[in-house]
Amino acid sequence: MRARYGDAAPELTEAALLDSPVLAQLLQHRSVRRFTTEPVTPETVTALVAAAQSAATSSNNQVWSVVEIRDETARTRLVHEAGGSSFVADAPVILLFVADWARAAAIADQHGEPAEAADYLESTLVGFVDAALAAQNAVVAAEALGLGTCYLGSLRNHPEVTAEIAGLPPRAVVAFGVAVGHPDPTDRAGIKPRLAPHVVHGVETYRPVEPTDVEAYERELAAYNATQGRASGWVRAVVGRVSRVAGLHGREPMRAWLEARGLPSR
């Protein structure tokens, strides 16, 4: 709790909370961007996919898929053509989580029915939510097995390329990737501080952010970033992301890209 929240860390006194290995594991989550050359076995990936499939899914429609990428050429393409971060080429396994209405549309077609409801924004959202829930289960499972992971939103920079690499049919799009591997012991990345719990946790009603909340978090994150050799602050990053279209880093045509993939999101 102290590593996650700094001075804003809540105190837990209930024995069940203090003794929970799952809670302790979740609180220790960190993004890993440096991996050893030790391979991730196919059996391990099978277990991660089983964990992913055990996540909640909207109405049990299961409108997500995952594509396992091990091939070195494909991983290199994900960096140089799809806009992925450079370490993607070095990770043993990249899991591409797909918002997938192609399977449901194919089943409907097999029964002589159209798939017109897949064209609507609600369906697009469901596909992305299902993929995210599944991926988070896989990440938790990977960390329980001693592996490291990192989410790869950068793979949405060129969705047509990631779709081609993954061999996706229409009505399916890569929502994001997850790099999986054995953490490099020299990697300095630690538990990154988060906003104090009371900032994101409203009771009965939404809690607006206060300047003092932001100032306190800015100090905590600055102290962590100093240990990582980074000077960037949180406020600057958030304002940069929301204030200008440039903060989308080239992803502003996403609606057109989704439509090209067969998900018009009406």
Q: Say if residue 232's pLDDT is above 80.
A: no
Residue 101 has pLDDT above 90, yes or no: yes
Mean pLDDT of the residues in the chain = 95
Return the exposure string of 181-213: e unless at least 16 CB atoms fall within 10 Å of the residue's CB, then b: bbbbeeeebeeebebbeebeeeeeeeeeeeeeb
Q: Which pLDDT score, from 0 to 100, does residue 239 have?
A: 95
| C-alpha 97 chain-centroid distance | 9
Q: Given this model, what pLDDT does residue 89 score?
A: 93
CA-based max dimension of the chain = 60
Task: Determine the pLDDT at residue 215.
Answer: 96
pLDDT in tens, 68-85: 999 999 999 999 999 888
Query: Cβ of 245: how many Cβ atoms within 10 Å?
Result: 9
Q: Per the structure block, which two tokens stand in for 48?
A: 């991660």
Q: How confident is the model at residue 41 (pLDDT cuts 50, 70, 90)?
A: very high
pLDDT at 188: 86
Q: What is the pLDDT of residue 143?
A: 97
* Distance separating alpha carbons of residues 77 and 165, to the nearest angstrom: 8
Q: Give 244-255 pLDDT, tens digit per residue.
A: 999 998 999 999
Integer-rounded Cα radius of gyration of the chain? 20
| Residue-by-residue DSSP string for 127-146 | HHHHHHHHHHHHHHHHHHTT
Cα 23 from chain centroid (whole Å)? 19
Q: What is the pLDDT of residue 178?
A: 98
Q: Which pLDDT score is estimated for 236?
A: 92
pLDDT score recorded for residue 154: 93
H/E segment holding residue 26: helix 21-27
Mean pLDDT of 129-158: 97
Using alpha carbons, select from 87, 90, 40 the residue that is nearest to residue 68.
40
pLDDT of residue 249: 87
**Selection from 11-15, 53-57, 186-190 with the highest mean pLDDT:** 53-57
Task: State the DSSP string of 184-252.
Answer: PTT----------HHHH--SSS-----HHHHHHHHHHHHHHHHHTT----HHHHHHHHHHSGGGGTT-T
Strand, helix or coil for residue 95? strand
Domains of the chain and any CATH numbers: 1-30+191-227 (no CATH), 31-189+249-260 (3.40.109.10)
- Checking phi first, is residue 105 left (phi over 0); if not, alpha (psi -120 to 50) or beta? alpha
Quick: pLDDT tens for 158-202. Answer: 999 999 999 999 999 999 999 999 999 998 889 999 999 999 999
- Quick one: what percent of the chain has pLDDT higher than 70? 100
Sign of CA dihedral 43, 44, 47, 53: negative
